[in-house]
Amino acid sequence: MAMPTVQRRTSTPASRLTRWMHTLKSSLGRPLIAVLVAFILGMIIVMIASPGALGDRFNTAVSAYYNLVMGSFGNIQSISYTLAKTTPLIFTGLAVALAYRAGLFNIGAAGQLAVGAMVAGIIGLKLGSLPGVILVPMMLVASMLAGAFWGSIVGILKAWRGAHEVVTSIMLNWIAFYVCAALVEGPFQAPGLSQQTTPLSASATLPSLANLYNQTLGTIFGQIPLAAQYTVDVSLLLAFVALVVYWFLTSRTTFGYSLRVIGQNPKAARYAGISVKRNLVLAMALAGAFAGLAGATRLMGQSPYQLISSGFSSDSTGFDAIGVALLGRTTAIGVILSALLFGGLQQAGPFLQLNVGVPGDLIYILQALVLFAVAVEYVPSFQRFLPPFMRRTKPVLAPPLVPNLIKSEALLEHASGSSTAGPPEATLTDNSVGATDAPTPATSQED
Amino acid sequence: MRRSGKLSLLVSLFVLCGVLLTACGGGSTTGTTSGGSSSTPAGKTVTLVTDIGGINDQSFNQSAYTGYQKAMSQYNFKRSVIETQSESDYVSNLTRAAQSSDMVVGVGFLMASAMDQVARAYPTKYFALVDSCPTDPKDTNKCDNLSNVAPLSYKEQQAGCLAGVVAGKMESLGKARVSKLQGNNTISAVGGMEIPAVVHYIAGYQYCARQVDPSVSVKINYSNNFQDTAKCQDIANNQITQSKSDFVFQVAGGCGVGALQAAQAKGVYSIGVDSDQAHVNSSVVTSAVKRVDTSVYDIIKALQGGKFTAKPPVFDLSNDGVGLGSFSSAVPAEVQPVVNEYVKKIKDGSLNIPETVQ
- Domain of B243, CATH number, reads 3.40.50.2300
Comparing CB atoms, the residue among A198, A349, A355 nearest residue B85 is A349
SS3 state of residue B1: coil
- Higher-confidence residue: A249 or B143? A249
Shared-domain flag, residues B329 and B201: yes
Task: Tell me the percentage of chain B whose pLDDT exceeds 70.
Answer: 88
- Higher-confidence residue: B130 or B4? B130
Shared-domain flag, residues B285 and B210: yes
Whether residue B133 contacts residue B151, with contact meaning beta carbons closer than 8 Å, is answered with: yes
Q: CB-based contact (8 Å) between B79 and chain A?
A: yes
How many domains does one find in chain A? 1
Provide mean pLDDT across the span B85-108: 89
Interface test with A, best of B87, B125, B135 (most A CBs within 10 A): B87
Query: What is the per-residue pLDDT for A380?
Result: 58
Comparing CB atoms, the residue among B26, B37, B141 nearest residue A191 is B141
Count CA atoms closer than 13 A to A349's CA, side-chain side. Answer: 27
> Bridge-partner residues for B289, per DSSP?
B274, B323
Shared-domain flag, residues B210 and B340: yes
Judge whether A382 lies within some domain. Answer: no
d(CA A69, CA A67): 5
What pLDDT digit, counting tens, does each position of A289-304 carry?
999 999 999 999 988 8
Whether B75 has a pLDDT exceeding 50, the answer reads yes
SS3 state of residue B298: helix
* B47 sits in which H/E element: strand B46-50
Whether residue A91 contacts residue A294, with contact meaning beta carbons closer than 8 Å, is answered with: yes
Whether A432 has a pLDDT exceeding 60, the answer reads no
Handedness of CA A358, A359, A363, A368 (dihedral sign): negative
Whether B245 has a pLDDT exceeding 90, the answer reads yes
Judge whether B263 lies within some domain. Answer: yes
Query: What is the per-residue pLDDT for B165?
Result: 94
pLDDT class for A382, splitting at 50, 70, 90?
Answer: low
Interface test with B, best of A6, A24, A25 (most B CBs within 10 A): A25
Whether residue A23 contacts residue A397, with contact meaning beta carbons closer than 8 Å, is answered with: yes
Whether A231 has a pLDDT exceeding 90, the answer reads no
Comparing CB atoms, the residue among B80, B100, B193 nearest residue A194 is B193
Last residue of a domain, one of B123, B152, B181: B152
| Three-state SS letters, chain A | CCHHHHHHHCCCHHHHHHHHHHHHHHHHHHHHHHHHHHHHHHHHHHHHHCCCCHHHHHHHHHHHHHHHHHHHHCCHHHHHHHHHHHHHHHHHHHHHHHHHHCCCCCCCHHHHHHHHHHHHHHHHHHCCCCCHHHHHHHHHHHHHHHHHHHHHHHHHHHHHHCCCHHHHHHHHHHHHHHHHHHHHHCCCECCCCCCEECCCCHHHCCCEHHHHHHHCCHHHHCCCCCHHHCCCECHHHHHHHHHHHHHHHHHHCHHHHHHHHHHHCHHHHHHCCCCHHHHHHHHHHHHHHHHHHHHHHHHHHCCCCCCECCHHHHCCHHHHHHHHHHHCCCCHHHHHHHHHHHHHHHHHHHHHHHHCCCCCHHHHHHHHHHHHHHHHCHHHHHHCCCCHHHCCCCCCCCCCCCHHHHHHHHHHHHHHHCCCCHHHHHHHHHHHHHHHCCCCHHHHHCC
Last residue of a domain, one of B88, B120, B152: B152
Q: What is the pTM of this model?
A: 0.76
Judge whether A353 lies within some domain. Answer: yes
Q: Which residue of A has its CA nearest to B143?
A: A192
Q: Are residues A353 and B100, on separate chains, in Cβ contact within 8 Å?
A: no
Provide mean pLDDT across the span A164-175: 94
Q: Are residues B5 and A392, on separate chains, in Cβ contact within 8 Å?
A: yes
Provide mean pLDDT across the span B328-332: 90
- What is the C-alpha R_g of chain A? 24
Query: What is the per-residue pLDDT for A433?
Result: 39
Backbone angles phi, psi at B332, to 5 degrees: -70, 160
Shared-domain flag, residues B172 and B140: no
Q: CB-based contact (8 Å) between A70 and chain B?
A: yes
Question: Which domain covers residue B67, as residue numbers?
Answer: 42-152
Nearest by Cα to A107 from A262, A309, A317: A317
Judge whether A189 lies within some domain. Answer: yes
Task: Tell me the percentage of chain A whose pLDDT exceeds 70.
Answer: 82
pLDDT class for B248, splitting at 50, 70, 90?
Answer: very high
Q: Are residues B96 and A351, on separate chains, in Cβ contact within 8 Å?
A: yes
Shared-domain flag, residues B97 and B165: no
Judge whether B87 lies within some domain. Answer: yes
Judge whether B25 lies within some domain. Answer: no
Judge whether A444 lies within some domain. Answer: no
Q: CB-based contact (8 Å) between A311 and chain B?
A: yes
ipTM reported for the complex surpasses 0.85: no
Whether residue A302 contacts residue A296, with contact meaning beta carbons closer than 8 Å, is answered with: no
What pLDDT digit, counting tens, does each position of A96-105 carry?
999 999 999 9
Handedness of CA B174, B179, B182, B186 (dihedral sign): negative
Nearest by Cα to A330 from A260, A388, A426: A260
Q: CB-based contact (8 Å) between B11 and chain A?
A: yes
* Other CB atoms within 10 A of residue A151 CB: 36
Q: Are residues B26 and A66, on separate chains, in Cβ contact within 8 Å?
A: yes
How many domains does one find in chain B? 2
| Mean pLDDT value across chain A | 82
What pLDDT digit, counting tens, does each position of B131-142 carry?
888 888 777 778
- Higher-confidence residue: A12 or A351? A351
Whether A396 has a pLDDT exceeding 90, the answer reads no
Chain B residues with CB-CB distance to A392 below 8 A: 4-5, 8
Question: Which domain covers residue A154, as residue numbers?
Answer: 65-210+227-376
Provide mean pLDDT across the span A79-96: 95
CB contacts < 8 A, A to B, total: 136
Provide mean pLDDT across the span A76-86: 91
SS3 state of residue B228: coil
Nearest by Cα to A99 from A290, A296, A265, A236: A290
Interface test with A, best of B109, B140, B194, B226 (most A CBs within 10 A): B140
Interface test with A, best of B96, B125, B228 (most A CBs within 10 A): B96
Judge whether B275 lies within some domain. Answer: yes
Shared-domain flag, residues B131 and B172: no
Count CA atoms closer than 13 A to B196's CA, side-chain side. Answer: 13
Whether A78 has a pLDDT exceeding 70, the answer reads yes
Q: CB-based contact (8 Å) between B27 and chain A?
A: yes
Query: What is the per-residue pLDDT for A362?
Result: 81
Query: How far off is chain A from B9, nearest CA to CA, in Å?
Result: 7
* B166 sits in which H/E element: helix B156-173
Q: Are residues A304 and B93, on separate chains, in Cβ contact within 8 Å?
A: no
Backbone angles phi, psi at B315, to 5 degrees: -80, 120
Vertex A322 angle, CA A233 and A379, to 5°: 120
Shared-domain flag, residues B52 and B133: yes
Residues 6 or more apart whose CB falls under 8 angstroms from that of B15 comprise A32
Chain B residues with CB-CB distance to A229 below 8 A: 95, 121
What pLDDT digit, counting tens, does each position of A398-420 carry?
444 444 444 444 444 444 444 44
* B187 sits in which H/E element: strand B186-191
Residue type, A400: P
Shared-domain flag, residues B185 and B266: yes
- Higher-confidence residue: A41 or A29? A41
CA A182, distance to chain mean position in Å, is 29
Q: Are residues A21 and B13, on separate chains, in Cβ contact within 8 Å?
A: yes
What pLDDT digit, counting tens, does each position of B175-197 carry?
888 888 888 899 999 998 888 88
Last residue of a domain, one of B110, B126, B152: B152
Query: What is the per-residue pLDDT for B271?
Result: 95
What pLDDT digit, counting tens, does each position of B275-289 carry?
888 888 999 999 999
What pLDDT digit, counting tens, does each position of A331-363 carry?
999 999 999 999 999 888 888 888 887 777 788
Interface test with B, best of A62, A92, A303 (most B CBs within 10 A): A303
Residue type, A12: T
Q: CB-based contact (8 Å) between B86 and chain A?
A: yes
Query: What is the per-residue pLDDT for A390?
Result: 60
Comparing CB atoms, the residue among B47, B79, B141 nearest residue A192 is B141
Judge whether B36 lies within some domain. Answer: no
Q: Are residues B1 and A1, on separate chains, in Cβ contact within 8 Å?
A: yes
Shared-domain flag, residues B268 and B177: yes
Q: Which residue of B has its CA nearest to A308?
A: B87
Judge whether B311 lies within some domain. Answer: no
- Higher-confidence residue: A62 or B85? A62
Chain A residues with CB-CB distance to B114 below 8 A: 303-304
Comparing CB atoms, the residue among B9, B92, B121 nearest residue A228 is B121
DSSP class of B81: E
What pLDDT digit, counting tens, does each position of A112-126 carry?
999 999 999 999 999
Residue type, A193: L
Interface test with B, best of A197, A389, A391 (most B CBs within 10 A): A389
d(CA B191, CA B189): 6
Q: CB-based contact (8 Å) between A308 and chain B?
A: yes
Query: What is the per-residue pLDDT for A310?
Result: 84
Provide mean pLDDT across the span B12-34: 40
Chain A, residues 84-103, CB within 8 A of chain B, namely 84
**Alpha-carbon distances, residue B1 vs A2, A5, A379, A392, B5 (angstroms):** 11, 12, 20, 10, 6
Q: CB-based contact (8 Å) between B97 and chain A?
A: yes
Chain B residues with CB-CB distance to A314 below 8 A: 52, 86-87
Q: CB-based contact (8 Å) between A80 and chain B?
A: no
Provide mean pLDDT across the span A3-9: 49
Comparing CB atoms, the residue among A196, A350, A351 nearest residue B110 is A196
Nearest by Cα to B167 from B200, B199, B192, B204: B204
Query: What is the per-residue pLDDT for B6?
Result: 52
Shared-domain flag, residues B183 and B200: yes
d(CA B131, CA B148): 16
Judge whether A44 lies within some domain. Answer: no
* B217 sits in which H/E element: strand B217-222
Shared-domain flag, residues B187 and B279: yes
Whether B98 has a pLDDT exceeding 80, the answer reads yes
pLDDT class for A46, splitting at 50, 70, 90?
Answer: confident
Least confident of A15-29, A314-328, B22-36, B73-87: B22-36
Q: Are residues B83 and A353, on separate chains, in Cβ contact within 8 Å?
A: yes
CATH classification at residue A264: 1.10.3470
d(CA B262, CA B256): 10
Shared-domain flag, residues B210 and B339: yes
Peptide bond into A304 cis (omega under 30): yes
Provide mean pLDDT across the span A129-156: 95
Whether residue A393 contacts residue A383, with contact meaning beta carbons closer than 8 Å, is answered with: yes
* Other CB atoms within 10 A of residue B264 CB: 17
Q: Are residues A196 and B224, on separate chains, in Cβ contact within 8 Å?
A: no
Q: Are strands B135-136 and B139-143 parallel, antiparallel or unpaired?
A: antiparallel
What pLDDT digit, counting tens, does each position of B211-220 carry?
999 999 999 9
- Higher-confidence residue: A329 or A447? A329
Q: CB-based contact (8 Å) between B37 and chain A?
A: yes
Query: What is the per-residue pLDDT for A25?
Result: 74
